[in-house]
């Protein structure tokens, strides 16, 4: 079974600073997708960024970027110039290429942004 591990239950960052959230995963598949989703308090989950395993180039979306290390099965999220609106639960997720293509999620990291 696929497992996704987020070892940081909580993180905090000063506004305008940079923070990195960690994620590791375990899979025997060679082709898959990785995601970071954001879940603000009492609001729905939204996609932050996605990475295809066959691409060596790290994905970037504005202030959000990833460090994808396939051999190490590591997928960290870097948030630059943190804003108050970035405060949320962040979930790392894995999706295979076959079957249901359902997402396997980590337990999440709660990010607090300090003004």
End-to-end CA, the chain: 41
* Between 43 and 85, CB nearer to another protein: 43
**Of 7, 18, 46, 60, the one binding another protein by CB under 8 A:** 46
Count other C-beta atoms under 10 Å from residue 79's C-beta: 23
C-alpha–C-alpha distance, residues 79 and 41, integer Å: 18
By CB under 8 A, residue 71 contacts another protein: no
Beta strand pairing call for 109-114 and 10-14: parallel
Region binding another protein by CB under 8 A among candidate stretches 13-21, 60-68, 73-81, 96-104: 96-104
By CB under 8 A, residue 104 contacts another protein: yes
Instruction: Output the six-digit token pair for 88.
Output: 């949320």
By CB under 8 A, residue 97 contacts another protein: yes
What does the binding site for another protein look like in residue numbers (CB under 8 A)?
4, 37, 43-47, 50, 52, 91, 93, 97, 99-108
């Amino acid at each position: 079974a696929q497992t996704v591990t987020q070892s940081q239950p909580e993180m905090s960052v000063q506004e305008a600073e940079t923070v990195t959230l960690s994620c590791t995963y375990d899979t025997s598949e060679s082709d898959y997708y990785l995601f970071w989703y954001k879940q603000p308090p009492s609001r729905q989950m939204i996609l932050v960024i996605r990475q295809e395993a066959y691409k060596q180039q790290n994905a970037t979306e504005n202030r959000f970027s990833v460090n994808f290390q396939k051999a190490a099965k590591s997928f960290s999220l870097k948030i630059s110039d943190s804003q108050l609106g970035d405060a949320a639960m962040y979930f790392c997720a894995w999706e295979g290429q076959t079957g249901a293509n359902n997402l396997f999620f980590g337990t999440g990291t709660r990010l607090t942004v300090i003004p």
